C-alpha cells in the first residue's frame, strides 16, 4: 500500500504461512466435496482454540471453498496481504455481527474471504456486494462496516 510515492507502513502482523497451512489441512479434513460451511469453521475454530477469522484466512490458502449461504448482501474481504493493515480484526467483527444477527433472527450477510482483491492502495480492502452492485470500502474500518450493515440491513 502506498501514500503518494512512499509505502504505508504495516499496522498489524500477518499470520505465519506455516500456521495457515496447518489450519488449511484441518479445514480440508472437515470439508465435504471441497466445501465447508461457516458453522463448521466456527466449530473447528473452537476445537483448535483459535479465532474463526484465522480459519477464514487459512481458507484462502487452500482449494476448499466456503458454502454459499444465499444472503443477498455480501462482504468480500482481503484476508491475504491486507492482514498487514488490519483485515483480520475487521473479519472477526464481521463474523461476530453475522452470528449475532443470525442468533437474533435478523437478516444476515455472507462473508467471503479472498486471497487478494487487487486493491492494495486501499488496504484493508473490503467490497460490499448487494443487488444494487459492488462497492469498495477503501481503508475499511469497523465503523465503515457497522455503517454499511446499518444502512443495508436495518
| Predicted local distance difference test score (pLDDT) of residue 9 | 83
Residue 22 host element (H or E)? helix 17-30
Answer yes or no: are the C-beta atoms of 94 and 133 closer than 8 Å: no
pLDDT digits (tens, 9 = 90+) for 5-48: 446 788 899 999 999 999 999 999 999 999 999 999 999 999 99
| Predicted local distance difference test score (pLDDT) of residue 2 | 47
Measured between alpha carbons, how far apart are the two ends of the chain, in Å? 33
- DSSP H helical segments within 31-154, as ranges? 38-48, 52-59, 87-103, 142-153
Residues of the chain predicted below pLDDT 50: 2-6
| Predicted local distance difference test score (pLDDT) of residue 7 | 60
Q: What is the sign of the dihedral through the CA atoms of 9, 59, 55 and 125?
A: positive
**Is this model's pTM higher than 0.75 or not?**
yes
Amino acid at each position: 500500500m502506498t501514500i503518494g510515492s512512499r509505502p504505508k507502513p504495516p499496522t498489524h502482523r500477518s499470520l505465519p504461512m506455516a500456521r495457515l497451512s496447518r489450519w488449511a489441512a484441518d479445514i480440508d479434513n472437515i470439508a465435504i466435496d471441497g466445501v465447508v460451511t461457516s458453522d463448521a469453521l466456527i466449530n473447528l475454530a473452537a476445537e483448535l482454540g483459535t479465532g474463526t477469522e484465522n480459519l477464514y484466512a487459512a481458507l484462502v490458502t487452500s482449494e476448499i471453498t466456503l458454502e454459499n449461504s444465499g444472503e443477498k448482501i455480501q462482504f468480500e474481504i482481503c484476508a491475504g496481504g491486507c492482514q498487514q493493515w488490519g483485515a483480520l480484526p475487521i473479519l472477526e467483527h464481521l463474523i461476530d455481527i453475522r452470528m449475532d444477527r443470525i442468533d437474533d433472527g435478523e437478516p444476515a450477510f455472507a462473508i467471503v474471504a479472498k486471497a487478494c482483491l487487487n486493491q492494495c492502495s486501499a488496504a484493508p480492502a473490503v467490497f460490499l456486494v448487494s443487488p444494487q452492485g459492488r462497492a469498495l470500502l477503501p481503508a475499511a474500518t469497523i465503523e465503515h462496516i457497522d455503517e454499511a450493515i446499518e444502512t443495508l440491513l436495518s
